[in-house]
Structure 1
């Protein structure tokens, strides 16, 4: 797979200024020309692998910071904020935003922080001010949902467990018994009403409900083994600078990340992905995981020198309420949009049990994405059953090696989708339910078109 170009001039410029260096001095130390470094800082040249290596060697610089937080969360995050009705009359286009990010990254970041702090905006705004879940998601996206230290510890532990036993569940249970003095007990559902797992420190037991299937039980034990990476996890939590509620949510995410990395070790999982064409059913069987666990793991494959395809993930209920979203390295607006488009077959998955739906879609700014959607019922509920639809996808240009894309013309016609009616300005959509934010609805008693109404500015 061709590597995506990394434009991170803001990070390079920040490092240079922290070191109080001129461009000429830094360029000489890195072995590049001052003019080239100037172009890198202005985002007119990508950061090459050689430059990344030299930054690491000369300044002990963590390369992950290059792909960390783009000013304001990057182009799409700024675009979503500017979709607020209070900016409707400004008509700021994509080129202007690119120039803003390249020429004044500090100003873009300041605008984003001020907007998020104030919490301005109408239905389109998704600022997350005071929302710990939103704050945690931004921190996850800052790392592109890839935590190399956790992957390294999990992979080493997985190799050790694999050498002692061929059964992952049995090996984990034995490790917990010997090293952590914790036994595993499966209990009837009526003994654990409303619970699927519980840690009883008094009895030194990990108690699991009989309602959990084997992937669920294995994952629960892997979560407990995250104690062996507690130092790395605590360092990430401390470095995030979140409030107490945010820390708890972030800790839960990192524990789950470690568990997935233990069940699906990075190197073996990536090789299985590449040799199978990212065959989701095969990956589930090979690693003893469920669809959601595999889908989530696909968003994390961003190890330097061994990257997987850049997937995004989104999970929604029938009412369109999103309960999980990861853009990862994909940068897809579909994972971060303020709303969902009914023309995306993600919503259709609810009525297609045990079937994975594929679709080629095109967003309003011209991005083309190949998506896979599937409905899933989580385990555990004995009364009302919850049901979610999971959508994963990647840029159409990256999808040619997918087994699910065989026979699909990835350059052919795509379904035009938006990010919810309030953020979409497509004029002739038959599915439109509301005008775009900041645009007045127009009605003409003498004629009507495929869409129920027009709107000002179309």
Structure 2
């Protein structure tokens, strides 16, 4: 195991207190000094992999919890909550928030939960609308928090799916045919494709009386394979999925069911795109989305989502994030994975970001280099998708799928060839007008939250809203 640095002082303190230990007693057990442990708990020293092993051997806990979400979703999530107008008269800077989380992690988490409950949603995980509730319901937010706690990588599911995929390939090179045969022989289930007029309001249905998995004729081959793999996973990975669900400790039923559905879909994608083979193909093709679709018989959205999950220890892929939005900018799917990108964590998006432009160019993959106010740069690829639910005369749904990565890591991408990712001009964007303090943006639709509007009848700037630069 490498000596990778990890700052997890709040988690170490929680373990120590849960075991009723003083800093001196825990330091003796770990063969380090009490002063060094004190620095670790205050996030002034990293927790190395070697020390992490000692902790895991000495105390009964899952090491993966140390890399989970920090209290309240972390510093930036707490700061987004504090940007609410009710706190406009307070001057709480980043340093104060960092010190608060380090010194009183449980208090920071309590504040975050109370604020989210009062504001009607999960501000830290999703962001809230100024002066209103979060777009994202708590059931969805709670499921997404658990997914992000694992960074959308479930090693046990990946391993089982990989073994199953190898076994299926031995019997039939055609994955759909192999899954169909396994469902028939091992589970006494047949697959039947039904006409739209027979099953007009469903894409998939399990009829246990007839022992049939019934699929709509609207589904294309990739979606049929995914649906068949999903059903196989529900039967053969049930114990592993339920272990993850029970370990999540959901307080309400809807979030639990959404999380379970995500895990089943994760398993299905892992069967279609087995981890090691998929990662090798990614690296060989420069993460070429079209080639990956063709090679694994998967849909565009399947491939993009799969790219956010490649975090196996010793075999990590690039840390991508994924976002799916509609024309109104509402997100229906978003995963930060290991990217930690703030572009995922807000309900509002900047209209200057080209993810919105793809609706005018359906089917076109649109690359874009953007820069946030903190000077971080992100390289994104966006394209429209059309779920297979429409028939002639019906409503055709359309979404924009965005795949993004830190621009410093984007050089291996085939889509980034020819781009100057470091020095070239990037489009300056924000996290929605209420959170953006760029004063020269002509696209601005609202002033930043907590800033005082400034009026001068004799002048007119680029933006329709002039505001005090000091919070």
TM-score range, shorter chain: over 0.9
- For 2:360 and 2:6, the matched residues in 1 are separated by 40
1:323-362 mapped onto 2 (5 Å cutoff):
323-362=332-371
Change (3 A) 1:146 1:229: same
1:170 to 148, 172, 177: 177
Unaligned runs of 5+ in 2: 121-127
SS of the residue corresponding to residue 190 of structure 1 reads coil
Q: Which residue of 1 aligns with 2:459?
A: 447
Match of 1:232 in 2: 240
Classify the secondary structure of the residue corresponding to 1:347. helix
CA contact (8 A) 1:128 1:134 kept: no
Is the counterpart of residue 388 in structure 1 residue 399 in structure 2?
Answer: yes
1:256, distance to aligned residue in structure 2 (A) = 0.8
When residues 54 and 403 of structure 1 are mapped into structure 2, their CA distance, relative to the original with a 3 A threshold, is farther
Cα distance per residue 1:162-213 (max 9 Å; x no partner): 2222111111111111111100111222211122111111111111111111
Q: Is the alpha carbon distance of 1:4 and 1:118 closer, same or farther for their aligned partners in structure 2, counting shifts above 3 Å? A: farther
What is the DSSP-based 3-state SS (H/G/I as helix, E as strand, rest coil) of the residue aligned with 1:208? Answer: strand
Is there any run of 5+ residues in structure 1 with no aligned partner, and where? none
Distance verdict in 2 for CA 1:6–1:397, change over 3 Å: farther
The number of residues matched between the two structures is 457
Q: Is the 8 A contact 1:81 1:125 kept in 2?
A: no
Q: CA deviation at 1:43?
A: 1.4
2:422 equivalent in structure 1 = 411
Q: Equivalents in 1 of 2:4, 2:395: separation in Å? A: 44
1:325 counterpart SS class = strand
- Per the TM alignment, residue 60 of structure 1 is displaced from its structure 2 partner at its CA by 4.8
Residues 16-165 of structure 1: pairs in structure 2 closer than 5 A: 16-119=16-119, 123=130, 131-165=138-172
Kindly report structure 1 stretches of 4+ aligned residues shifted beyond 6 Å: none
Answer whether contact 2:129 2:135 (CA < 8 A) is retained.
no
CA distance in structure 2 between the aligned counterparts of 1:238 and 1:367, rounded to whole angstroms: 37
1:234-257 superposed Cα distances (whole Å, 9 cap, x missing partner): 122222222112222111111111
Name the residue aligned to 1:422: 434
CA 1:161–1:75: 2 relative to 1, 3 Å? same
Query: Is the 1:443–1:454 Cα contact (8 Å) retained in structure 2?
Result: yes
Deviates most, 259-268 or 51-60: 51-60
- The one of 208, 213, 220 equivalent to 2:215 is 208
TM-score normalised by L of structure 2: 0.92
The alpha carbon displacement at 1:440 in A equals: 4.2
* TM-score, normalised by the number of residues in structure 1: 0.94
SS in structure 2 at match of 1:72: helix
Partner of 1:251: 260
> Among 213, 220, 225, which residue is 1:218 paired with?
225
Question: Structure 2 CA distance, aligned partners of 1:136 and 1:219?
Answer: 22
Q: What is aligned with 1:398?
A: 409
1:283 matches 2:295: no
Rate the CA distance shift 1:262–1:18 in 2: closer, same or farther, 3 A. Answer: same
Question: Does the CA contact (< 8 Å) of 1:369 and 1:395 recur in 2?
Answer: yes
Equivalent residue for 1:265?
274
Deviations 1:365-398 (A, max 9, x none): 2222111111111112111111111111111122
Residue equivalent to 1:376: 385
